[in-house]
Amino acid sequence: MKLVLERFTKRFGATTVIDGLDLTVADGEMIALLGPSGCGKSTTLFAIAGLHRVDGGRILFGARDVADVSAQARNVGIVFQNYALYPHMSVAQNIGFPLRVRGESTTQIDRKVRSIAGLVRIDELLDRRPAQLSGGQQQRVALARALVREPDVLLLDEPLANLDAKLRMEMRSEIRRVQLETGITAILVTHDQVEAMSMCDRIALMKTGQIVQISSPAEMYDNPADRYVASFLGNPSIAFLAADAGEELRLAGGQSLGPAGRLAGQGPLELGVRPEHYGPGKGPQLQGKVVMMETHGREDLFEVDLDGGGRLRAILPAGSGVRTGASVDWGVAVERLFAFSPKGARL
């Protein structure tokens, strides 16, 4: 089902935390609300779920405006960071709870529970208690409970934050698989860019109650709307250099990147260089010195202090032999760098 937020506004007391937010999620699409804590992403999610009052604007499920509809009557499924399983009920009772409060017959509940348990692959666990399950299994139960009533929208509130690294990878693809198989419209709230990029069709990046950019993960990575988006995505993160664009693109430290091209005459600005676009032979060379090197197994991460000032990060295949303290004259792929005005707007 298509979900639309129109001029959605939320206040806590006198402070307006979200002011006129617009968002459209297509039917069957999975979208991420990404941002640092306090950016309003969870507030938005709770408003969609009906747990928070809406102070302005409309929330449309299909054609129906649900802004004034109670959480009980909205038909959304929600999965929480701590899973929120009912500890005194068995797995089957947990999953069947939404159907039970709707007054469905036991045989029907039993049938639906079994079918959804099959989908999330927990058929074996139906008689257990939540306390007897691993984190990943609990997550699957929570997902099954959210999906069993065939909700209009599936909401996921930091669902992977409590899992260890290995399980997180596994559950990432599991949730995506289930979402694709059921074709449900889903919203994922997360502060983890990897989660957002790997699981979702589109990402809405939020900052202080606003959506800064909304686009596909690749598009957002390759074409950030502003400095904030550029800095938020990418790990290791992008490096910024103060520069001045006249005829030449000259770094604040004095070194030059050659002709300024389309940036000519922009004056003072900031350049964003992703680690993969800086390295031996990538473009115009800059003199610098390796100040830090981390081995990540398959690749090595370097931090290089440029002569005259500025710091860049590079990521190179392992085995380059470059050590901390070495002088390097690696190049920057100028066609891939981003330029931002002093206020952070993309140039």
Partner 1 sequence: MQPHHRSYWPIVAALTALSAPLVIMYVYQLIDTVTTTAPGSIIPNGITLQHWQFLSQPITRDGPTIWALAGNTLIFACSTAVVVTGVSLTAAYALSRLAMPGRGLFLGGLIVLHAFPTLTLIVAVFLILQYMGLYDTLTGVILVKVAFELPFGIWIMKGFYDSVPWEIEMAGVTDGASRFTVWRLLVLPQVQPGLAALLIFSFLSGWSEFILPLVLAPANAPQVLATYLAAIIADDRVADFSLFKAVSIFYALPVLAIYVIFQKKLMNIYGGGSKG
Partner 2 sequence: MRQDRIGFLFITPAVFAVVVFYLVPVLMTAVIAFTDMSTATGIRGGDYVLTESSLRKLDDASLPADTVAQLAEGGFVVDADGLAGIEAQFGAALTTRIATALLDEKFDNRREIERALNDLRAPELRITRDRKAAAALFQRSVLNTRHDTPESLRAALSVADIPLADHDQIVQAAYTGWSWTTRNFELLVSLPSTLRYALNTLMYVSVTLVVFNIGLGLFLAISTFYLPERTSATFRAIWFMPRILPPVLYVLMWKWMMLDSGFIASVLAPLGVARINWMMETEVHAWVAVILINGVVGASFGMIIFASAIKAIPQTMLMAAEVDGASRWQQVRFIILPQMRWPILFVTAYQTLSLLASFEYILLSTGGGPGSATEVWAMAAFRTALNNYGGNLQYGMGATFALVLVLIGTALSLIYLRFFNFQALLSKPRIER
Identity of residue 68: D
Q: Which is nearer to partner 1, 93 or 216 (CB)?
A: 93
Helix extents (H) in 121-203? 135-147, 165-182, 193-199
Query: Least Å distance between CB 99 and partner 2?
Result: 21
Collapse the DSSP code of 62 into the 3-class scheme (helix H, G, I; strand E, B; otherwise coil) and give the result.
Answer: coil
Per CB under 8 A, 69 contacts partner 1: no
Q: Which is nearer to partner 2, 5 or 249 (CB)?
A: 5
Q: Which is nearer to partner 2, 5 or 214 (CB)?
A: 5
Per CB under 8 A, 52 contacts partner 2: yes
CA distance 123 to 137: 11
Q: What 3 state SS string does 317-336 have? A: ECCCCCCCCCEECCEECHHH
Query: Least Å distance between CB 170 and partner 1?
Result: 22
Query: Least Å distance between CB 121 and partner 2?
Result: 31
Q: For the residues of 268-287, what is the DSSP string, one character each?
A: EEEEEE-GGGEETTSSSB--
Q: How far is CA 180 from the centre of its chain?
A: 18
CA distance 162 to 295: 27
CA distance 335 to 89: 58
Handedness of CA 237, 241, 246, 247 (dihedral sign): negative
Q: By CB under 8 A, which span of 48-56, 170-178, 197-205, 224-232 interacts with partner 2? A: 48-56
Joined together, the tokens standing for residue 186 give 């889903």
Among 35, 57, 98, 224, binds partner 1 (CB under 8 A): 98
Among 38, 101, 127, 329, binds partner 1 (CB under 8 A): 101
Per CB under 8 A, 58 contacts partner 2: no
**Binding at 52: pick from partner 2, partner 1, none (beta carbon under 5-8 Å per type):** partner 2
Q: Which residues of 79-106 are buried (b: 16+ CB within 10 A; e: fewer)?
A: bbbebebeeeebbbbbbbbbbeeeebee
Intra-chain end-to-end CA distance of the chain, in Å: 37
Q: Which is nearer to partner 1, 77 or 310 (CB)?
A: 77
Collapse the DSSP code of 117 into the 3-class scheme (helix H, G, I; strand E, B; otherwise coil) and give the result.
Answer: helix
The 125-164 site mask, x for binding partner 1 (CB under 8 A), equals -----------------x--x---x---------------
Query: Least Å distance between CB 13 and partner 2?
Result: 9
Q: Which is nearer to partner 2, 61 or 232 (CB)?
A: 61
Query: Least Å distance between CB 47 and partner 1?
Result: 12
The 11-30 site mask, x for binding partner 2 (CB under 8 A), equals -x------------------
Size of the site for partner 1 (CB under 8 A): 27
Query: Least Å distance between CB 31 and partner 1?
Result: 19
**Binding at 82: pick from partner 2, partner 1, none (beta carbon under 5-8 Å per type):** partner 1
| CB contact set of 196 (below 8 Å; sequence gap of 6+) | 32, 34, 188, 190, 203, 217
Which spans of this chain sit near partner 2 (rule: CB under 8 A)? Answer: 12, 50-53, 70-71
For partner 1, the binding residues (CB under 8 A) are 46, 49-51, 71-78, 80-84, 86-88, 97-98, 101-102, 142, 145, 149
